[in-house]
Amino acid sequence: MSDSETVPPAGPRGAPALPEEARKIAAGYAFTGPALDLGALLWDGACRADAPVRIPLSVLNRHGLVAGATGTGKTKTLQLIAEQLSAQGVPVFLADIKGDLSGIARPGQPNERVRKRSADVGQEWAPAGVPAEFFALGGLGHGIPVRATVTSFGPVLLSKVLRLNQTQEQSLGLIFHYADTKGLELIDLKDLRAVVAFLTSDEGKAELKGIGGLSGATAGVILRSLTAFEAQGMADFFGEPEFGTADFLRTAEDGRGIVSVLELAAVQDRPLLFSTFLMWLLADLFHDLPEIGDADKPRLVFFFDEAHLLFDDASRAFLESITQTVRLIRSKGVGVFFVTQTPKDVPGDVLGQLGSRVQHALRAFTPDDHKALRATVQTFPRSAYDLEELLTGLGTGEAVVTVLGETGAPTPVAATRLRAPRSLMGPVDPAELDRAVRDSPLHDRYAQAVDRESAYERLSAARPAEQPREPAAARAPQEEPSLVEQVVGSGMFKSLARSVGTQLGREITRSLFGTARRRR
């Protein structure tokens, strides 16, 4: 197909023909297969509806980045992409930091701004909501509670939440290993506190020595960190019933993908907690999903908001685990979009794996702002634009776009005026949201917290002289690799432990992040 066939020589209503350079950009977005419509090309200050900017559905598992300064339209971009993914039968996960994405389930309201934007970009706008489920971290908010057990959350992610140093993180890994091998289930924080307290008590000192590489002083630091963490009201996030991330993969009866909105507004003051919890959700999906390779469309697209919080002060091993998870989860059909202010918020090894980029405006008021602007420009391919000037002059709802084409090659950089979402751009009434949550088929499964017998109850009931029964395998240390080699040396907690006692017939496998699923 020639350029003249791909891009009309003149725009609608007799608009002048696109210049040759602009025609080449437009031709780069003329895909033959299913694609999402992002908007229309901006050229010489004009929006060209005859030059649509799109992204192929088949490349959305190659990950992406949505970036830009506060107030430039990132949230509306997420909403626009999520609506179209749902219409294509792809489930979506959205982290709702500000609490204004619940409107995605309701039709939008027409107004003059929407009419003008849709006319500018050639969009046939009609109000429409999408099938949505609403969740809240630990039940703090209006959604269905999302909880994790301490066992499945694992030592690596928990160490980041507790702000432990590398030595303390390795020691926490040994404590988890001990609990795994002894069949001491860590359901909530009091379970982990009970195990650490036991290991530092007179009765547990022998056990502490037996797991090697863990000092009483370090165990005491961990115990104090856990106590302080629990005192800050964090206990609600850990417990049962644990959320099954497979529930993010559902479609509605009409075939549309369900959009799962995790409300995080109630925990905005605990950013490290919610960013780490988002990583647990992603790691859990990685752990459970089978490989599917390249597919016509992704199995799920996951939007990871405030992504910089995940990478701040992260250890090398933690960053390596993130990088490996992002790289490998693509073949499981999951696309991940990181949402942040500038590309420099994302480490280079991760940024290099993000095939699609939607960069909203950046502000350049300070020397640091100018430095960030120059760094952002350097992450883009060469283009027909002066990107430093363009990125500081974009309006709200405009962005610089480059995506992977159907052949896997990057498209030309395109200044784009984005389409208007069809759903409500703002939150729904809290009472309406509560009704939607109560009517959800998931409500009865997750709403009520359960506190069954686990490590805390077992250790509290035991006599001082009694200790958790040691399995036969643990009584033959000469036949096992060193615990220090298994846990500290690897840095990724890949050991396999057999659970015993009351957990007969269960198995714990720890993944890259030390996360775990118990399989019967």
Q: Which of 362, 396, 428 is the last residue of a domain?
A: 428
Residue 135 covered by a domain: yes
Judge if 487 and 502 occupy the same domain.
Answer: yes
Closest Cα to residue 28, out of 411, 380, 418?
411
For the segment 331-354, what is each residue's pLDDT rounded down to a tens digit? 999 999 999 988 989 999 999 999
Q: What is the pLDDT of residue 55?
A: 97
Work out the pLDDT band at 217, boundaries 50, 70, 90: confident
Q: Token pair of 509, please?
A: 């496998």
Judge if 409 and 465 occupy the same domain.
Answer: no
Judge if 344 and 472 occupy the same domain.
Answer: no
Place of tokens 């003051």: 269
Q: What is the pLDDT of residue 410?
A: 94
- Range in 3-12, 238-247, 430-439, 500-509 with the lowest mean pLDDT: 500-509
**92 three-state secondary structure:** strand
Work out the pLDDT band at 484, boundaries 50, 70, 90: very low
Contact 339, 309 (CB under 8 A): no
Judge if 251 and 162 occupy the same domain.
Answer: no
Greater pLDDT, 509 or 168: 168
Judge if 210 and 280 occupy the same domain.
Answer: no
Residue 38 covered by a domain: no
Q: What is the pLDDT of residue 470?
A: 43
Position 464 pLDDT exceeds 60: no
Position 3 pLDDT exceeds 80: no
Q: How far apart are CA 19 and CA 39, in angstroms?
A: 19
Judge if 112 and 170 occupy the same domain.
Answer: no
Closest Cα to residue 302, out of 341, 354, 343, 361?
354
Q: What is the pLDDT of residue 221?
A: 92
The most confident of the ranges 122-131, 169-178, 269-278 is: 122-131
Instruction: For residue 463, give Cα distances in angstroms to 151, 197, 388.
Output: 24, 15, 69
This prediction's pTM: 0.84
For the segment 100-127, what is each residue's pLDDT rounded down to a tens digit? 899 999 999 999 999 999 999 999 999 9
Judge if 123 and 266 occupy the same domain.
Answer: yes
End-to-end Cα, the chain, rounded Å: 55
Give the contacts of 80 (CB within 8 A, at least 6 positions apart).
38, 418, 419, 420, 421
Overall average pLDDT of the 395-411 stretch: 94
Position 505 pLDDT exceeds 60: no
Residue 45 covered by a domain: no
Judge if 170 and 302 occupy the same domain.
Answer: no
Helix (DSSP H) and strand (DSSP E) numbers for the chain: 20, 15
Q: What is the pLDDT of residue 513?
A: 66
Judge if 234 and 335 occupy the same domain.
Answer: no
> Which CATH number is 333's domain given?
3.40.50.300
Q: How far apart are CA 427 and CA 114, in angstroms?
A: 17
Residue 491 covered by a domain: yes
Give the strand order in the sheet containing 496-498: 496-498, 507-510, 516-519
Work out the pLDDT band at 312, boundaries 50, 70, 90: confident
Cα-Cα-Cα-Cα dihedral sign, residues 404, 406, 408, 410: negative
Greater pLDDT, 140 or 250: 250
Greater pLDDT, 489 or 518: 518
Q: How far apart are CA 135 and CA 151, in angstroms?
A: 22
Judge if 210 and 248 occupy the same domain.
Answer: no
Closest Cα to residue 75, out of 431, 462, 337?
337
For the segment 13-47, what is each residue's pLDDT rounded down to a tens digit? 556 788 899 999 999 999 999 999 999 999 998 99
Work out the pLDDT band at 290, boundaries 50, 70, 90: very high
Judge if 308 and 187 occupy the same domain.
Answer: no
Residue 50 covered by a domain: no
Work out the pLDDT band at 444, boundaries 50, 70, 90: very high
Judge if 497 and 512 occupy the same domain.
Answer: yes
Overall average pLDDT of the 81-108 stretch: 95
Q: How far apart are CA 244 and CA 336, in angstroms?
A: 19
Contact 338, 128 (CB under 8 A): no
Residue 441 covered by a domain: no
Give the total number of structural domains in the chain.
3
Place of tokens 């031709």: 27
* Range(s) of the domain holding residue 6: 1-30
Place of tokens 């002048």: 16
Q: How far apart are CA 444 and CA 447, in angstroms?
A: 6
- Range in 108-117, 142-151, 376-385, 442-451 with the lowest mean pLDDT: 376-385
- Burial of 134: CB neighbours in 10 Å, binned 0-12, 13-18, 19+: buried
Position 468 pLDDT exceeds 70: no
Overall average pLDDT of the 395-420 stretch: 95
Overall average pLDDT of the 54-58 stretch: 96
Paired strand residues for 263: 96, 136
Position 364 pLDDT exceeds 50: yes
Side-chain half-sphere of 277: how many Cα atoms within 13 Å? 26
Paired strand residues for 252: none
Position 327 pLDDT exceeds 80: yes
Q: Token pair of 58, please?
A: 């088949």
Contact 286, 326 (CB under 8 A): no
Residue 39 covered by a domain: no
Place of tokens 């339209």: 73
Place of tokens 């009409």: 254
For the segment 223-261, what is each residue's pLDDT rounded down to a tens digit? 999 988 888 888 889 999 999 999 999 999 999 999 999
